[in-house]
């Protein structure tokens, strides 16, 4: 075996190279400078709870709902906001904004849960279609993720040991940054059991698959019984070591996280939830309750920074 000819440890950086590293570190540090300059003044949904309650009352009046309705996730799903006519009764929209929403909405689906609409302000409108989406031709040029990576119904597979089962195209709301906008179509779908079973059969036959992510759409769009069925089938596949649920409902519709849902998930412990929060206003008492509720029964492991859909 050849011996090293240098006198320093191979992981040691020479002084002549360290100046380059320090310069690069300074560049990286500068990227966060703006954030650290304002972080102590950033207001969250806890700080702005009074604004949230005011918007809540306004939305209930527009939609003809009650305080009891607001606690019911099914009411939110039945009354989701998907038209400019209703939206402009809730927030002020300029005429050019209305035109942009209608133009972009003709190309990409959109709707907002009443709960999430209560969090909107001029700085947090990431649920409203933007003309930038309409003008972005790169997404149209790129083939949808599913098109060339689906060896079986509802499967998206990009890596050797993990895959996605797209159980639905429904969500609590349609996020404007969604990388699956081209895939989710314009009509709500809970895919038939036949297709779900074909996807599960594919997992069974491919023993190298150890990690399965249920998403879509949003896994929590399924009923408790539908989700229970799929998780039960995955539990019985010996080579599946990790089961993950992709859901943004703890943020966009926290009422969906019910004691009944958590009790069902306890049967499949551990299940890993992947969620995301993108704006300080989304961090509300309701969201905290939804995120913490399963801890009382230990039903799932939470992670907002774990493997993403991009990682599968």
Identify the weakest region by mean pLDDT among 16-20, 33-37, 139-143, 166-170: 139-143
**What does the pLDDT read at residue 307?**
41
The alpha carbon of 103 is separated from its chain's Cα centroid by a whole number of angstroms, namely: 25
What is the Cα–Cα distance from 256 to 73, expressed in whole angstroms? 5
**Residue ranges of the domains in the chain?**
49-138, 142-303
pLDDT of residue 298: 46
Q: Burial of 126 by CB count in 10 Å (0-12 exposed, 13-18 middle, 19+ buried)? A: middle
Cβ contacts of residue 175 below 8 Å, gap of 6+? 126, 127, 248, 252, 278
CB-CB contact of 248 with 276 (8 Å): yes
Q: Which residue has the higher pLDDT, 132 or 81?
A: 81
How sure is the predictor about 19, in pLDDT bands with cuts at 50, 70 and 90?
confident
pLDDT at 98: 93
pLDDT at 26 over 60: yes
Number of C-beta neighbours around residue 186 at 10 A: 7
DSSP E strand boundaries for 107-171? 155-156, 162-166
Sign of CA dihedral 174, 180, 181, 185: negative
In the sheet that holds 271-274, the strands lie side by side as 155-156, 162-166, 211-215, 242-246, 271-274, 300-303
Residues 6+ apart with CB under 8 A from 48: 281
**pLDDT band with cut points at 50, 70 and 90 for residue 268:** very high
Q: Is the pLDDT of residue 308 over 90?
A: no
Give the lowest-confidence range in 23-27, 144-148, 275-279. 144-148
Note the pLDDT tens digit of each residue in 215-243: 988 999 999 999 999 999 999 999 999 99
- How far apart are the C-alpha atoms of 48 and 188, rounded to whole Å? 33
Q: Which residues lie below 8 Å from residue 84, measured CB to CB, with a gap of 6+? A: 93, 98, 101, 102, 105
Under 8 Å CB-to-CB from 265, ≥6 apart: which residues? 231, 271, 294, 297, 299, 300
Q: What is the CATH number of domain 142-303?
A: 3.20.20.70
Looking at the predicted structure, is the pLDDT value of residue 7 above 80?
Answer: no
Write the pLDDT tens digit of every residue in 55-99.
999 999 999 999 999 999 999 999 999 999 999 999 999 999 999
The pLDDT score that the predictor gives to residue 185 is 66
pLDDT score recorded for residue 12? 72
Average pLDDT, the chain: 87
pLDDT above 90 covers what percent of the chain?
62
Residue of 287, 297, 216, 289 whose CA lies nearest to 264: 297
3-state DSSP helix/strand/coil percent for the chain, to nearest 5? 45, 10, 45
Residue 310, pLDDT above cutoff 90: no
- pLDDT tens track for 159-218: 999 999 999 999 999 888 777 766 666 778 888 999 999 999 999 999 999 999 999 889
The residue with tokens 């990431």 is 126
Q: 178, 183, 172: which is closest to 111 by C-alpha?
A: 172
Find the DSSP H helices in the chain. Answer: 15-31, 33-38, 49-63, 67-70, 73-78, 84-90, 95-105, 114-117, 131-135, 138-141, 193-205, 224-235, 249-252, 259-266, 285-292
d(CA 209, CA 157): 10
Q: How confident is the model at residue 20 (pLDDT cuts 50, 70, 90)?
A: confident
Please tell me whether residue 82 adopts helix, strand or coil conformation.
coil
């Amino acid at each position: 075996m050849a011996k090293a000819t240098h006198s320093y440890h191979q992981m040691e950086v020479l002084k002549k190279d360290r100046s380059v590293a320090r310069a690069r570190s300074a560049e990286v540090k500068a990227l966060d400078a703006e954030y650290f300059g304002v972080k102590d003044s950033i207001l969250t949904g806890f700080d702005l709870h009074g604004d949230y309650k005011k918007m809540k009352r306004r939305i209930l009046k527009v939609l003809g709902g009650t305080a009891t309705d607001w606690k019911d996730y099914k009411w939110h799903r039945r009354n989701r906001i998907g038209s400019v006519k209703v939206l402009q009764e809730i927030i002020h929209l300029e005429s050019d904004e209305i035109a942009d929403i209608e133009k972009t909405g003709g190309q990409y689906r959109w709707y907002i849960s009443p709960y999430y609409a209560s969090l909107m302000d001029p700085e947090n409108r990431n649920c409203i279609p933007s003309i930038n989406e309409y003008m972005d031709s790169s997404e149209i040029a790129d083939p949808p993720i599913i098109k060339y990576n689906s060896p079986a119904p509802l499967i998206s597979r990009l890596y050797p040991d993990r895959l996605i089962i797209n159980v639905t195209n429904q969500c609590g709301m349609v996020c404007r940054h969604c990388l699956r906008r081209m895939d989710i179509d314009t009509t709500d779908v809970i895919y038939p059991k036949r297709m779900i079973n074909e996807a599960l059969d594919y997992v069974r036959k491919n023993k190298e698959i150890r990690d399965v992510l249920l998403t879509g759409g949003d896994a929590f769009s399924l009923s408790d019984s539908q989700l229970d069925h799929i998780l039960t089938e995955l539990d019985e596949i010996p080579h599946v070591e990790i089961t993950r649920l992709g859901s943004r409902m703890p943020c966009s519709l926290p009422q969906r996280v019910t004691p009944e849902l958590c009790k069902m998930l306890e049967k499949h412990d551990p299940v890993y939830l992947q969620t995301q929060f993108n704006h300080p206003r989304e961090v509300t008492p309701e969201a905290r309750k939804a995120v913490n509720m399963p801890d009382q029964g230990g039903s799932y492991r939470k992670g907002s920074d774990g493997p993403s859909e991009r990682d599968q």
